[in-house]
């Protein structure tokens, strides 16, 4: 396990921002969480992030909007999208645009860990 790998979480749901960092830290990752895409972009963590766990639907800049902005900036991070909406069309679009996968909430710890590991290996 790469203890230094930074996983950044961007989700407007406070419970997700509280639960996922604890889980990922248990697996040896460094974790930062953000309530919105704009906060992540302003954080200075973009270049250090090895995997981005990103909510699909958020107020303001959506997950796909952030994915496009990162690509435009020359920072196409490996992204694991998460969503409570079972919109397979939108999940397909973000994966086609380069995301590692799109997990539907609630997802298992094993599914999240597997997706994050695939993302880090892809970087």
pLDDT surpasses 80 at 88:
no
Q: In the predicted model, what is the mean pLDDT of residues 113-121?
A: 96
Q: Judge contact between 115 and 103, C-beta under 8 A.
A: yes
Q: Judge contact between 84 and 105, C-beta under 8 A.
A: yes
Q: Would you call 50 exposed, middle or buried from its count of C-beta atoms within 10 A (0-12, 13-18, 19+)?
A: buried
In the chain, where the domains are located:
6-122
Mode of pairing for the β-strands spanning 49-55 and 6-10: parallel
Look at residue 2 in the predicted model and tell me its pLDDT: 42
Q: In the predicted model, what is the mean pLDDT of residues 59-69?
A: 96
Average pLDDT, the chain: 93
More confident: 85 or 107? 107
Q: How far apart are CA 47 and CA 102, in angstroms?
A: 22
Confidence of residue 95 (pLDDT cuts 50, 70, 90): very high
Confidence of residue 86 (pLDDT cuts 50, 70, 90): confident
As a CATH number, domain 6-122 is: 3.40.50.2300
Look at residue 85 in the predicted model and tell me its pLDDT: 84
Look at residue 122 in the predicted model and tell me its pLDDT: 81
pLDDT tens-digit series, residues 7-47? 999 999 999 999 999 999 999 999 999 999 999 999 999 99
């Amino acid at each position: 396990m790469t203890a230094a790998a930074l996983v950044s979480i961007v989700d407007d749901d406070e419970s997700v921002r509280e639960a996922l960092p604890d889980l990922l830290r248990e697996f040896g990752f460094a974790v930062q969480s953000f309530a919105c895409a704009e906060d992540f972009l302003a954080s200075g963590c973009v270049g250090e992030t090895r995997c981005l766990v990103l909510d699909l639907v958020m107020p303001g800049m959506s997950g796909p909007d952030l994915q496009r902005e990162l690509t435009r900036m020359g920072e196409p991070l490996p992204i694991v999208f998460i969503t409570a909406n079972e919109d397979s069309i939108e999940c397909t679009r973000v994966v086609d645009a380069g995301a590692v996968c799109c997990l539907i909430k609630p997802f298992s710890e094993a599914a999240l860990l597997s997706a994050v590991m695939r993302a880090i290996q892809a970087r």
